[in-house]
Structures are given as C-alpha cells and as structure tokens.
Structure 1
Amino acid sequence: MTDDHATDSTDDADEAVPDDAGIPFWRRIPTLVWRTIVGAWDHGIIGWSAQAAFWQALSFAPLILGLLGSIGYFLGWMNPDITTIIHDRIVGLAERTFTPDVVDDLIGPTLDSMLNRGRAGVTSVAFVISLWAGSSAMSCYIAAITTAHHQESVRNPVWQRIFALIVYVAFLAGAVVVLPLVAIGPSLLRRMVAPSWGPTVSTVIDIAYFPLVGLVLILMLTTLYHLALRHPLPWHRLLPGAVVAATVFWLATYILRLYLAALTRSGYTYGALATPIAFLLFAFFLGFAIVLGAELNATIESLWPSSPSRGVRARHWLDEQRAELAAGVTDGIKGLPARLGSGALARRPRTGAEE
C-alpha cells in the first residue's frame, strides 16, 4: 500500500477544519483534549492497556531472570561494590513481599549465583519466554498506535508481528543498561562510581540524574511512536504525545508508590497482597499512558496537519514511478498481439502457387 492513504488522511483533515485555520492555538486546546479523549475511548484504550498489561506481567519474571543473568557478565567492568548494592536492594524488596524462608533459601542464593557470574543457560531460557510474551505486549502497543493514526491496515499483519519482536529486542538491549541505572537511584549510583573518578562525577550525577532519566524516557517513547507507524510523522510532531505519556506514567507510579507505602504500614499481609496488584496496575497505566500519547499525536495531526517529509515525498514519488512503469509494461503486453499482426512480422496469406 502506498502513501496515498497518508495523503488522503491529510487531505481529509484539511477539508475537515478549513474554517478553523485562523483560530489561535490556545482556543483550540479544549477541542484537542476532547477529541483525544473521544478517540482514545473509541479505539479501545482500556482494552489495549489491559492486553499489554497481561503480556507484560507474563514476561516480567523471565525478563528479570534474563537481565540478572546478563548483568552478571558486565559487573566486572564497574566498581566491585555494585554486586553488593544490587543484591541488597533486590533482597530488601523481596523481604517486603515474601517470607524470610523464601528469601534466605531461594531468592538470596539465586541472586548470588547470577550476579557473581553470568548464567548462560538461565539467560537463554528466560529470554526465549520473555521474547514471546514481551513481543506480544509490544505488538499491542504497535497495533494501538497504528489504530490511533488510522494506519492499522497499512502493514501486513504477519510482518507487524515480526516487526514487534524486532522492536522489543531492540528495547530490551537498551534496558539491560538503562533499567539498572534507573532502579538504583542517584545515591547508590554515586557509591558505584570508582573513588578515583573524584567528586566531580558525583556532582554531575546529582545535577543530571533525574533530567537525564526523563529525557531518556521521552526519547524512548518518541522512538516507539515513530517506529510503530508505517507512514511516520516527523520526530518533533511526536514529542507532545511522548511528554504527555511520560507525565501520565510518572503520576501513576507516584500514586502507586503512595498506595504501596500505605498498605505496607498496615502490616506484612496487606503489603504482600498489594505487591502483585500494584504491579498489574503499574503495567496497565504504562500501556494507558502510551496509548493516550499516541491518540494525542493523532489528534494534533488531524487539527494541524503536517507537510509530508522528504522521505515521505520520495517514497510517494517512487511509488508513482513504479505504478507508471507497471502500467506501461501492461499496456505494452496488451498491444503486443496487434504489433505482431502488422509490419514485417505479419502473417501473409498463402497464394495458389505456394499451395
């Protein structure tokens, strides 16, 4: 399918809002908000978020095992104390969820084995399981984003499933490096830095840690929005949705942290029950934020259509040339019998002498 669909969508958007072109931006914000909400509801934001949350929950345990098995190979490049730091943080989190026997007999020894040396076998099996479930979650995100931009029928369904697997693997490769840095926080990150690096690095971490984490999150969301579309919008046009998605996700996680803290103070039993519920809500709100950001980008594109980028124009021109070439070849084949029946190749009737 060519870019005619994208061009038609742009033309429809131009025809849909010709009288609003001169209205100031701030006066159209209510329209933007309302259309985003209506579009998200019509496209099934609750269903997409729930599907993605299910697949994320299914892939979480093998993903953690795979990440821990991979991190064990890289810890030797950093401060030796990082092993103790990561071990203590994970065990401390597990102690608030599981019984002491489970932590001492199962979780602790497993962490020691995986963090002190890489576990290729565990990593391989865990990643195979997480690839299946995680790529299914990514497929939900891509399907929701393409539906928001009315491009759900542009990409072949089989190729879209394979494409979701490729995107998931790419994001997973980055997560091996990014997620540990995000999880440990700036204070523990300073302890991980080698003392020979001096106080300058600690100062940089204090100043740049949270802005850098936010920037990385926004860039990852923008990249997802760009890659998911068969006919992508310019990068800067996808930033508003990424910012809104990151903000909604941050607010949701902040509320969930308050919820977990309140239940933990109520006692061990409530804290243990609240942990899986909080994780499911965390995964749900992550999907909710991503889909909502995609709907916002689609609404902005419908209200303020963007001009096609050079890449889109180039692909459109190539599609036109291919279509013209194919039409010329088809016409040539259709006219071949007529040309064979005339001129030097024409079949002459037999005369009486020849008979």
Structure 2
Amino acid sequence: MKNFLGKIKNRIFVIFIDQLLYRFARHNVVWSGASLTYFLILSLFPFLIVLLNILSYTSLVRERAVLDMLHFLPMDIQAIIEVFLNDLSSSSSQGLLSVAAFIGLWTASSGVKAIIKAINMAYDYAENRHFLKLRGLSVLFTIALLLMITLVMISLILGPMLGKMLFERIGYGDSFMFLWNYLRYIIPLAYMMLIFALLYKLSPNIGKNLRIPIREVLPGAVFATIAWVSLSLLLSYYVSNFGKYAITYGSLGGVIVLLIWMYYSSIVIVLGGEINATLEDMRKNGLKVNPEKSAFYED
C-alpha cells in the first residue's frame, strides 16, 4: 500500500483529495453541516416571508412561481412551503406582512451569518469582525439573495417573450422555443452559481487590503451548484420511490424530509468552501503534498 501511495502521491488530483479529506476531518464538516442546518431551518420561513413581501410589489410574479422554482425538491417539502405561503398570503394584511418582512430579514440573516462563519472555518480564518459589521454583511447577503431569486423568476417569466422578439428580429424566431427548453434550466443554475461564488469570495475574513479573485472561488461554486441540485433530485427520487417517511413518521414525514434536505444542503455549502480553501492551500504549497495537512502521508 505504501509503495502504491508513493507512486501516485505527486499527482495533483491525489494531492487534492488528500488535502480535502484532511480538512473534512479536521473541520468536522459533518458537525458543521448539522449546526448550520439548525440556523437554516430557523431562517427558512422568515426568508420566505421577506420574499413574499417583495413579490407582492410586482404583478409579474406570484407565490406559485416560488414553488415552480422548487419543482426538483421532494413533494413533502413543496407541500410544507405551499401551505405556509397560502396561509401567509390569505391571512395576513399588507401592513402586518411588511412588519413580518422586516423582522424576517433580521432572522433570515442569522442563517447567512452561520454560513459565513462556516466558510471562515474552512479557510482557517478567525471570525473576529465586530458584531454589527458581521450582521450587516449577513443582511446584505440576504437582501442580495432575495433580489437574485426575484430576478430569476422575472427572467423565467419574461424570457420567452423577450427572447422570441429578439430572435424574430434576426430571422430565427422559430428556433427560440427549442433553445428556451434548455435556457430555462440554465438561467437558475447560472444565478445559483453566481450566488455561491459571491458567498465564497466575500465571506472570508482576510483583511481590508486583500481580495480573493473570483476565479479562485469558481470551483467551489460550481461544485456546490451541481451537488446541491443533484442531491435534491436524488433525495426527491428516493423519497418518492423508496423512503416512505409518511408511513413511518405520519404527519411529521414532511418535516423529517425537510430536515434531511437541509442537512445535506448545509454539508454541500460547507464543502464548497473547503474545496476552494484546499485549492488555495495547494497553490501556496507549490501543488505538492503538505505533510502537515495530509490525511495519508506523514513527514
């Protein structure tokens, strides 16, 4: 085994896996995911309150659009969110909804704050920013996320009309709808990748005069986007065909599925940061094995 490891240990991919596994164990990513899940669960419904409040100011987007964006999630989770949105829109006045949105924004930012701390742990940076500065950054991220989700939905609604008009001007109007069958999936993925990239770029507490180039956070952003969508689809398929949580847990089945989905989503977010941090550490070490941060090798 030692001879085999000696032959392959200088390959970049093996070095990457080695250093990533070390970070995975050292930072206890599984525990971080569980901790992050708690804050995200507390933040989910306040976040939806704020999003619903924003959507109420546009005639283009309705509550149904939120569910259309979550079609790849298990039906149990969609049902929970749909009941919440229906109850909120039917039983709340606009004034109360606005007050709830303001409080919800503060509460929802707690989930983003937990993500920022988890990403700092991945980079081995101490989170020593002032409480108000960290909370302000969390609120700004939350607002940016809300606006991007709204832009995604508006893009998906106006996209066919605007795209067809543009293609008709250049004489390819009939070809657009075929192209749109792919674009309507690519657009949300592109926005999602941008959100993850900005999160990984701006979260680390690296000092005033230092910046992380956007190209260095793209690997983690691409991984987080693909892994999150893939895990959501796999969980949806598993729950629909094999995991009979409703039979086992009764009316709590949907809540259990939501917790499982949030837990895996949290691990994916943290792991994306760990991937970026691993690649950064490899570049600093000249793409060589670092025995001090190795899961396989020793000095």
Q: Normalised by the size of structure 2, how large is the TM-score?
A: 0.71
Q: What is the match of residue 218 of structure 1?
A: 193
> Hey, what's the Cα distance between the residues in 2 that align with 1:290 and 1:237?
16
Matched, 1:244 2:223: yes
In the TM superposition, what is the alpha-carbon distance from 1:253 to its structure 2 partner? 0.5
> Hey, what's the Cα distance between the residues in 1 that align with 2:90 and 2:103?
23
Show CA shifts across 1:276-304 (max 9, x none).
Answer: 22222222222211111111111111111
Matched, 1:155 2:129: yes
Which structure's CA Rg is the greater one? 1
In the TM superposition, what is the alpha-carbon distance from 1:227 to its structure 2 partner? 0.7
Q: What is the match of residue 49 of structure 1?
A: 33
Counterpart of 1:66 (choices 50, 63, 73) is: 50
> Hey, what's the Cα distance between the residues in 2 that align with 1:215 and 1:263?
31
* Cα 1:271–1:211 shift into 2, 3 Å: farther
> Does the Cα contact within 8 Å between 1:48 and 1:140 map onto a contact in 2?
no
Aligned residue runs from structure 1 range 3-42, under 5 A: 27-42=11-26
> Hey, what's the Cα distance between the residues in 1 that align with 2:275 and 2:78?
38
Aligned residue runs from structure 1 range 170-189, under 5 A: 170-178=144-152, 180=153
> Hey, what's the Cα distance between the residues in 1 that align with 2:183 and 2:122?
34
In the TM superposition, what is the alpha-carbon distance from 1:173 to its structure 2 partner? 2.5
> Does the Cα contact within 8 Å between 1:87 and 1:112 map onto a contact in 2?
no
> Does the Cα contact within 8 Å between 1:260 and 1:274 map onto a contact in 2?
no
In the TM superposition, what is the alpha-carbon distance from 1:272 to its structure 2 partner? 4.7
The percent identity for this pair of structures is 22
* Cα 1:27–1:86 shift into 2, 3 Å: closer
Aligned residue runs from structure 1 range 115-154, under 5 A: 120-153=94-127
> Hey, what's the Cα distance between the residues in 2 that align with 1:271 and 1:251?
27
* Cα 1:62–1:203 shift into 2, 3 Å: same
> Hey, what's the Cα distance between the residues in 1 that align with 2:244 and 2:154?
28
Aligned residue runs from structure 1 range 72-83, under 5 A: 72-75=56-59, 78=60
> Hey, what's the Cα distance between the residues in 1 that align with 2:90 and 2:161?
21
Aligned residue runs from structure 1 range 194-205, under 5 A: 202-205=177-180
Q: What is the match of residue 274 of structure 1?
A: 253
In the TM superposition, what is the alpha-carbon distance from 1:70 to its structure 2 partner? 2.4
SS at 1:150's partner residue?
Answer: coil
In the TM superposition, what is the alpha-carbon distance from 1:162 to its structure 2 partner? 2.9
* Cα 1:253–1:144 shift into 2, 3 Å: same
Give the gaps of 5 or more residues in structure 2.
1-6, 166-172, 287-299
Show CA shifts across 1:76-114 (max 9, x none).
Answer: xx4xxx659649969x9689847xxx97xx975754688
SS at 2:11's partner residue?
Answer: helix
Q: Normalised by the size of structure 1, how large is the TM-score?
A: 0.61
Counterpart of 2:181 (choices 177, 181, 206) is: 206
> Hey, what's the Cα distance between the residues in 2 that align with 1:111 and 1:135?
22
> Hey, what's the Cα distance between the residues in 2 that align with 1:278 and 1:192?
34
Matched, 1:289 2:268: yes
* Counterpart AA for 2:20: T
* Bigger RCO of structures 1 and 2 (CA < 8 A, at least 6 apart): 2
After the TM superposition, which of the residue ranges 289-298 and 128-137 deviates more from structure 2? Answer: 128-137
Q: What is the match of residue 232 of structure 2?
A: 253
After the TM superposition, which of the residue ranges 23-32 and 209-218 deviates more from structure 2? Answer: 23-32
* Counterpart AA for 2:106: W
Give the superposed CA RMSD: 4.1
In the TM superposition, what is the alpha-carbon distance from 1:209 to its structure 2 partner? 2.0
> Hey, what's the Cα distance between the residues in 1 that align with 2:160 and 2:247?
31
